[in-house]
Amino acid sequence: MKKLRIGLADTTFARADMAAFAIDEIERKFPKMKIEFVRRTVPGIKDLPVECKLLYVRDKCDIVMAFGMVGKEQVDKTCGHEASLGIQWAKLMLGKHIIEVFVHEDEGKDEADLLSIFEDRSRKHAINAVLIATNQSELTKMAGKGLRQGRQSVGRIGV
């Protein structure tokens, strides 16, 4: 069986090692799958879109994840928006998914809470990345069910 090549783009700006959570989760949940990780680090979130493109075009990854932290200031939020638009263009140019795992520094009540968001979101989206690359119909079983990454899921309305 062909190895699944997973690209991980992350930043020096973020305040947690999100890619490490993702790698750990994938190794636990898919122990029999042959997986190769390609990791590339850039300074900040606005450097992620083109790095994700390179992970597909140059490194021939099968699926790519982009890990970033959006800072607390308004200027940081604008950067996050620009990075997300860049990721949209990258996806559409390539015709490929990029699993965007962004955490906002002001999402957490305190540092411990923020760290738990980093971990939960990175782990859950790592599963999403593998499913999209290998078995997307699994996701349809959860369609419209109010799933959340980073926090507990909220469920379907009226159920």
Q: Nearer to its own copies by C-beta: 62 or 128?
A: 128
Residue 60 makes contact with its own copies by CB under 8 A: no
> Looking at 4, 14, 64, 133, which residue binds its own copies (CB under 8 A)?
14
Residue among 33 and 142 whose Cβ is closer to its own copies: 142
Q: Any contact of residue 143 with its own copies (CB under 8 A)?
A: yes
Is 34 a binder of its own copies (CB under 8 A)? no
Q: Does 24 bind its own copies (CB under 8 A)?
A: no
90 interacts with its own copies by CB under 8 A = yes
Asked if residue 146 lies in contact with residue 156, where contact means CB atoms within 8 angstroms, the answer is yes
Using only C-alpha atoms, what is the Rg of the chain? 15
The set of residues, in sequence order, having a beta carbon less than 8 Å from that of 66 and lying 6+ positions away, is 9, 10, 48, 49, 51, 52, 87, 98, 99, 100, 101, 102
Tell me if 114 contacts its own copies by CB under 8 A: yes
